[in-house]
Amino acid sequence: MLISEFARQTGLTPDTVRFYIRRGLLDPERGEKGGSARYQLFTRQHVGTARLIRLAQSLGFTLREIAAINAEFQSDGVSVERLARILRDRLRDLDEKAAEIAKMTGYIRAKLGWLEGGRVGPEPALEFHESCGAATGRADDKSSSIQTIAGRRGRRSSAGPPPVAV
């Protein structure tokens, strides 16, 4: 199949397909047609490779990592131990992200409860680790609260309620 059909079948844009080719992630065959600029032909195997690339990206792998792993597979294969180590490392990264997301959603739930409950008690706040910007989910520190858009734009006035921290 030609690039346009391949793009349709994989859900990629032709520009993304060309980018993957330039990065060495896809290696289409060259057809007989097209003169000096022969057509690139894609097979079902290329469709599978493109889907694996997208899956790996959704798991957090960079294109550089995907290319390196692909090169290992193409050269001499990847041992079970090596593949297990790669997956274990990715799982650890995803677990860390999941923990950060859990803290952020916990903060949002606490903030919504506080807002909908009449703003009674201390205002929940989201604290960040200085080293990486990850949320800690602490609800007792107002120093990291973000002011409302009105407050950030400097439109505070003496009339009306003060801006609500987010």
pLDDT band (50, 70, 90) for residue 138: very low
Mean pLDDT, the chain, rounded, equals 78
Q: How many CB atoms lie within 10 A of CB 47?
A: 15
Span 99-127, pLDDT tens digits: 999 999 999 999 999 999 999 999 998 87
Query: In this predicted structure, what is the pLDDT of residue 36?
Result: 60
The domain spans of the chain are 3-78, 100-152
Look up the CATH architecture of domain 3-78: Orthogonal Bundle (1.10)
pLDDT band (50, 70, 90) for residue 139: very low
The crossing angle, in degrees rounded to 10, of helices 3-10 and 44-58 is: 40
- For the entire predicted model, the pTM comes to 0.58
Query: In this predicted structure, what is the pLDDT of residue 7?
Result: 94
Query: In this predicted structure, what is the pLDDT of residue 121?
Result: 92
Query: In this predicted structure, what is the pLDDT of residue 97?
Result: 92
User: Does position 4 have pLDDT exceeding 60, yes or no?
Assistant: yes
How far is residue 145's CA from residue 69's CA, in Å, rounded to a whole number? 42
DSSP code of 9?
Answer: H
Query: In this predicted structure, what is the pLDDT of residue 37?
Result: 61
Yes or no: say if 127 and 135 are a contact pair by the CB < 8 Å rule: yes
∠ CA 137-142-143, nearest 5°, is 100
The mean pLDDT of 65-79, rounded to a whole number, is: 83
